[in-house]
Amino acid sequence: MKVLLKTDRYLIGRWKDAVYQHVPGLEIVTFPFVGDPSDIEVVIAWEPPQGLLASMPNLKLVISTGAGVDHILKDKTFPRDVPLVRMVDPGLTQGMVEYVVMAALLCSRRMHRAFSAQARKMWEPETVPLAPEVTVGIMGMGVLGRACAGALLGMGYNVIGWSRTPKKFDEVQTFDGIEGLEKFLTRTQILVCLLPLTAETEGILGRGTFNRLPPGAAVINAGRGAHMIEADLLRALDMGKIEVAVLDVFNEEPLPVDNPLWDHPRVFITPHTASVTTPESAIVSVADAIDELRKGLPLSNLVNVELGY
């Protein structure tokens, strides 16, 4: 079985070593050295170029190295009959949990005010709410959302969740659909976006959403940049509707130097590093998918390409 690796350049060597060690009997090639496309049966991919997957007539499986698959489905030539599986990686999950917990603490402890006072060399003590006084609302209750909810609950935060379709989670009140969104937002003091990017969720972090949040709410976006309407966020920040934002993803990456988000005093920026797939732990998911393919078993973590997740 011939496998093509198309990942970030700095990870290619680690991915190749991990596949060789954990999945025997494979012939591995790395992009852009594809060779004969008709020989490729499996692609392990991050952001494959437009048309690459469609050029492989014998392709049997595509494995996304990220939890999201929008980077693959944005290619309109992607063959929809080829199974696509998303990454479920303990390291990826742990990284996201750590990021969301960190961001929630930054917001609820009002660290932006402390950092501002430090920059001005001003001693400005204030009382901040403890976790049990704060409600965190998580948009997207998949693997990552549930893991983050569990960690936040463990710290004492009140946690609620929203998804497009009904989800159940112990200790977390969940809402779903358009009809549940307003109830969810009106109770949310710290909004965390971990949604998959689809046509329905693109731009969901915009004026309509911000206007439904309580005054002084915080926004954390670790989903996708296209979830956010950046101009609406800046307007909400300047009007005082949103107190602070923690952003890991952006509509354009790297974030242009002239983007006003850089200079806003109540915006924390990280360079799309909230959670990164680690080949050494992610290989378990890859090995399972290839083993299931070989044995003709149902594929775990199979994506519904029509829904986009």
Nearest to 175 by CA among 164, 188, 162: 162
Question: Is 272 a known active-site residue?
Answer: yes
With H, G, I as helix, E, B as strand and everything else as coil, classify residue 61.
strand
The position carrying tokens 């437009």 is 50
**Helical segments of the chain, H only:** 12-22, 70-73, 90-108, 111-119, 143-154, 177-187, 207-212, 230-239, 279-295
- Sequence-distant (≥ 6) Cβ neighbours of residue 91 within 8 angstroms: 276, 277, 278, 280, 281, 282
Is 12 within 8 Å of 44 (Cβ atoms)?
no
Selected catalytic residue, list 110, 112, 146, 224:
224
* C-alpha span between 275 and 97 (Å, rounded): 8
Selected catalytic residue, list 113, 266, 272, 294:
272
Nearest to 83 by CA among 58, 114, 59, 110: 59
Catalytic residues: 224, 272
